[in-house]
Chain A
Amino acid sequence: MAGLAAKFGSGAMTNSVAEIADNDAIFVIGSNTTENHPIIALRMKEAVAKGAKLIVADPRKIPLVKFATLWLRHRPGTDSVLLNSMMNVILAEGLEDKDFINERTEGYEAFVESLAPFTPEYGEEMTGVPAGDIIKAARIYAEAGSAGIYYAMGITQHVMGTNNVMAVGNLAMLTGNLGKPACGVNPLRGQNNVQGACDMGGLPNVYPGYQKVDVPAIQEKFEKAWGTSLSAKIGLPATMMTEAMLDGSLKGMYIFGENPALSDPNTTHSVKAFSSLEFLVVQDIFMTETAQLADVVLPGASFAEKNGTFTCSERRVQRVRKAINPPGQAKSDLVIIDQLYKRIVGDGDLTHTVDPSSVFDEVAGLWPGIAGINYSRLQETSLQWPCPTADHPGTEYLFKDGFNREGGKALFSPIPFVSSKELPDKEFPYVLTTGRQLFHYHTGTMTRRSTGLNRVSPEAFVEINPADADVLGVADGEKLTVSSRRGTINLKARVSKIVPQNVVFIPFHYREAAANLLTSDAMDPICKIMEAKVCAVKIEKP
Chain B
Amino acid sequence: MLNLNIDGKDVSVAKGTTVLEAAQKLGIDVPTLCHDARLKPFGACRLCIVEIAGMPKPVTSCTTPATEGMVVKTNSERLYRLRKTTVELLLSDHPNDCMVCSSSGDCTLQELAYLYGIRENRFVGEVRDHSRIDHNPFIIRDQNKCVMCGLCVRVCDEVQGVGAIGYSERGFEAKVITPFGHDLDCEFCGQCVSVCPTGALTGSLWSGKPRSEGVVKTDTTCTYCGCGCNITLRTHGDKVIRVESASDNHNRGWLCVKGRFGYEFINSNERLTTPLIRKEKGAPFEKATWEEALDYVAGKFTSLQQQHGSDSVAGLCSARCTNEENYLFQKLFRAGLGTNNVDHCARY
| Chain A residues near B (Cβ < 8 Å) | 1, 17-18, 36-40, 42, 45-46, 49, 66-67, 157, 188-205, 207-208, 213, 222, 226-231, 233-239, 241, 244, 249-258, 260, 263-265, 278-279, 281, 284-287, 291, 294-300, 302-306, 308-314, 316-325, 327-331, 333-334, 336-341, 343-345, 354, 356, 359-360, 362-363, 382, 438-439, 441, 445-447, 449-453, 455-456, 527-530, 532
Contacts and interface: CB of A to CB of B under 8 A. Distances in A.
B319 interface: yes
A254 B323 contact: no
Nearest to A312: B228
A200 B347 contact: no
A344 B322 contact: no
Given A253-B315, A331-B290, A447-B265, A303 B271 contact: no
Interface string B205-239: 10000000000101111111111111001010111
B233 A157 contact: no
Given A308-B322, A328-B271, 17 more contacts: A191-B345, A197-B326, A238-B344, A250-B341, A254-B297, A254-B301, A257-B321, A263-B348, A296-B293, A299-B273, A308-B321, A311-B323, A344-B302, A356-B324, A451-B264, A452-B137, A455-B137
B160 interface: yes
A203 B345 CA distance: 10
Given A230-B334, A295-B278, A452-B137, A529 B347 contact: yes
Interface string B39-73: 00000000000000000000000000000000000
A251 B313 contact: yes
26 contacts: A39-B255, A191-B226, A192-B226, A195-B226, A200-B330, A205-B340, A241-B314, A241-B341, A253-B313, A256-B317, A257-B319, A260-B348, A291-B272, A303-B221, A306-B322, A308-B324, A308-B325, A310-B221, A323-B235, A328-B273, A337-B332, A341-B332, A447-B258, A529-B347, A529-B348, A530-B347
B348 A157 contact: yes
B104 to A, nearest CB: 23
Given A197-B326, A200-B327, A439 B225 contact: no
B261 A453 contact: yes
Contacts of B297: 254, 281, 296, 298, 340
Nearest to B292: A296
B259 to A, nearest CB: 8
Nearest to A187: B226
B325 to A, nearest CB: 5
B270 to A, nearest CB: 6
B277 A238 contact: no
Nearest to B274: A329
Contact of A530 (B221, B333, B348): B348
A69 to B, nearest CB: 15
A177 B301 CA distance: 49
A284 B275 CA distance: 10
B10 interface: no
A323 B220 contact: yes
A38 B189 contact: yes
A205 B272 CA distance: 33
Given A197-B318, A297-B272, A313 B226 contact: yes
Interface residues of B, number: 109
A350 to B, nearest CB: 9
Interface in B4-35: none
Contacts of B257: 38, 438-439, 453
A320 B343 contact: no
Contacts, number: 451
A179 B138 CA distance: 43
B285 interface: yes
Interface of B: 137-138, 158-161, 187-189, 204-205, 216, 218-230, 233, 235, 237-240, 250-251, 254-259, 261-268, 270-278, 281, 285, 290, 293-298, 300-302, 304, 308, 310-348
A231 B278 contact: no
Contacts of B290: 329, 331, 339
A261 B248 CA distance: 40
Contacts of B347: 237-239, 527-530
B233 A304 contact: yes
B210 to A, nearest CB: 14
Contact of A250 (B204, B313, B346): B313
A253 B314 contact: yes
B245 to A, nearest CB: 10
B329 A337 contact: yes
Given A188-B226, A279-B301, A340-B294, A202 B348 contact: no
Contacts of A327: 238, 267, 271, 273
Contacts of B216: 323
A286 B270 contact: yes
A334 B322 contact: yes
A297 B310 contact: no
- Choose among A39, A318, A336, A354 the residue with the greatest number of B CB atoms under 10 Å from its CB: A39
The 4 tightest CB contacts between A and B, nearest first, are A312-B228, A328-B273, A308-B322, A257-B318
Contacts of B311: 231, 233, 235-236, 249-250
Contacts of A341: 328, 331-332, 336
Contact of A452 (B159, B256, B261, B325): B261
Given A195-B226, A323-B218, A231 B310 contact: yes
Given A312-B221, A382-B250, A202 B238 contact: no
